[in-house]
Amino acid sequence: MYNPKSLKAEEFISDEEILDTLAYADANKDNMELINSILEKARERKGLSHREASVLLACEDEEKVQEMYALAEQIKKDFYGNRIVMFAPLYLSNYCINGCVYCPYHIKNKHIARKKLTQEEIVKEVTALQDMGHKRLALEAGEDPKNNPIEYILECIKTIYSIKHKNGAIRRVNVNIAATTVEEYRMLKEAGIGTYILFQETYNKKSYEELHPYGPKSNYAYHTEAMDRAMEGGIDDVGLGVLFGLELYRYEFAGLLMHAEHLEAVHGVGPHTISVPRLKRADDIDPDTFDNGIDDETFAKICALIRISVPYTGMIISTRESQAVREKVIKLGVSQISGASRTSVGGYCEEEPEEENSEQFDVSDKRTLDEVVKWLMEMGYIPSFCTACYREGRTGDRFMSLCKSGQIQNCCHPNALMTLKEYLMDYASEDTKAIGEALIEAELNNIPKEKVREICKENLAKIEEGIRDFRF
Ligand code: SAM
């Protein structure tokens, strides 16, 4: 029944294979010989299978867990250096006809304020985001063919790309909307989206059906096979994720890796990113009523093992997590974070009055983008606003081969420094700017090729003079 190359959800995410994997992991969680051999394989930096990774997840030996963390940290450094890509979500509409029991946008919630941005409101929201310094957005919307049809989403994307305010520009629009048809994915591709993101929520079919009792999202196979349709429609950067807290985390972890293996087996390229959201309190949602919440330590272990298992896949963490948790998992493998996020429709322009709440969930990290940028730099990271890969067509397997050849340090590193420089010149507070300038100066030395280093220096000088015509 289990077949990673099949296009049928129940075959590439086979429940039987997951249960066998969990039993195998349980049986071997103290098998030090096997665990050492898996860690040895992981050190080759070519990833691990869902079975191997599941054994490491089950292993509770403190010394081995610390070894996993150290390896994750090292792989993170080798593949991503000290760059952290920045983005913000933009909620377009919270109209939704689904029944997701964990999401306050479900159709039966009659007291949440329903909102949908007009194109004029989008201009205001995006201008506010540009004024913070954001260059990369993730669009979010509920599923509602009447209120948020694909034409509406496409119009929003067009508007967003057209807004040029001062030195601002949104250079990459990622999209997180409900599973759709090949034809609509093709339209999104033509509209110039970056990554198509869709969280699986849970890989367990039975739980999935209970958690999505009605609406188009209740179809497990249609949802699970969405990434194959997206790729068929020409989108080659796709972002996976599960909502931790809904099902047993070990089941989800195995499912997530099986999904990644499936994409690699069928399309020759794995997921561009994996997101690791955890269930949060929201309008009429109490996370305590769900049985499968995970503590911070387990969460960190999952992040570290994703890093080890799929070294070439970026990992995203949102403001659902606190500063402290973000700090921990950035070290262990996260490569992209959001900053200053609002999860309400229209939230970047105005504070919502209490009775007009349209928020999807509570955020834990409420700092401004300037504070987040400063915090990252104080820890030695380079906040990157770069979107060059996508703009230069380095997506899908072309991005992966760049990553695998180790050329990223000559490419992403200078771009990160230049986009950080733009940020510092255009948006940063004096404090943040001072820290950033010193960091850029020091980091220039980490560009291996002398010629690239020289070009980077020239471009930094141009940015200083106010020139902004680079293709990041
Ligand atoms: N409506 C689209 C869909 O069905 O995939 C997309 C986007 S939804 C705005 C983004 C994600 O937020 C969902 O996929 C879900 O994982 C997450 N989410 C929903 N309710 C949440 C909650 N209470 N806490 C944390 N994340 C939540």
Q: Looking at the predicted structure, is the pLDDT value of residue 437 above 80?
A: yes
In a domain, 177, yes or no: yes
**Residues 183 and 305 both lie in one domain:** yes
Shared domain check, 433 and 383: no
Asked if residue 300 and residue 157 are part of one domain, the reply reads yes
pLDDT at position 468 is 86
What pLDDT does 400 receive? Answer: 72
> Is residue 9 assigned to a domain?
no
Task: Using the predicted structure, report yes or no on whether residue 397 has a pLDDT greater than 90.
Answer: no
- pLDDT tens-digit series, residues 30-74: 999 999 999 999 999 999 999 999 999 999 999 999 999 999 999
* Mean local confidence (pLDDT), 315-319: 97
Is 62 within the bounds of a domain? no
- The average confidence (pLDDT) of the chain is 95
**Claim to verify: residue 299 and residue 422 sit in the same structural domain:** no
What pLDDT is stored for residue 24 in this prediction? 98
Instruction: State if residue 411 touches ligand 1 by the CB under 6 angstroms criterion.
Output: no
pLDDT band at 28 (very low <50, low <70, confident <90, very high): very high
> Same domain, yes or no, for 445 and 415?
yes
- Residue 168 belongs to some domain of the structure: yes
Let me know whether 298 and 364 are in one domain.
Answer: yes
Residue 18 counted as domain residue: no
Rounded to an integer, the average pLDDT of 426-452 is 95
Instruction: State the average pLDDT over residues 300-324.
Output: 97
Is the entire prediction scored with pTM above 0.95? Answer: yes
353 pLDDT above the threshold of 80: no
Domain enclosing residue 85, as ranges: 77-388
Q: Indicate which residue's Cα is closest to atom 4 of ligand 1.
A: 178
**Which of 355, 388, 421 is at the close of a domain?**
388
Whether residues 179 and 317 share a domain: the answer is yes
pLDDT digits over 198-230, tens only?
999 999 999 999 999 999 999 999 999 999 999
- Of the residues 321, 353, 388, the one at which a domain ends: 388
Residue 142 CA: which ligand 1 atom is closest?
Answer: 1
315 and 267 assigned to the same domain: yes
User: In the predicted model, what is the mean pLDDT of residues 253-280?
Assistant: 97
pLDDT over threshold 90, residue 411: no
- What is the average pLDDT across 402-407? 70
Which is higher by pLDDT, 325 or 388?
A: 325
Given this model, what pLDDT does residue 126 score? 98
Q: Find the mean pLDDT for residues 185-197.
A: 98
Ligand 1 pocket member 361 (CB < 6 A) = yes
Let me know whether 349 and 424 are in one domain: no
Q: 240 and 97 share a domain?
A: yes
The pLDDT value recorded for residue 406 is 66
Please report, for the domain that includes residue 129, its CATH number.
3.20.20.70
Domain boundary (354, 388, 422) is at 388
Tell how far the Cα of 35 is from the centroid of ligand 1, in angstroms: 35
42 assigned to some structural domain:
no
* 198 within ligand 1 shell (Cβ under 6 A): yes
Distance 103 CA to ligand 1 centre (A): 6
User: Measuring from atom 6 of ligand 1, which residue has the nearest CA?
Assistant: 177
**CA dihedral (205, 206, 210, 213) positive or negative:** positive
In a domain, 38, yes or no: no
| pLDDT value, residue 357 | 82
Number of compact structural domains in the chain: 2
Same domain, 223 and 268: yes
- Res 440 pLDDT > 90: yes
- Domain presence at residue 233: yes
User: Are residue 302 and residue 427 in the same domain, yes or no?
Assistant: no
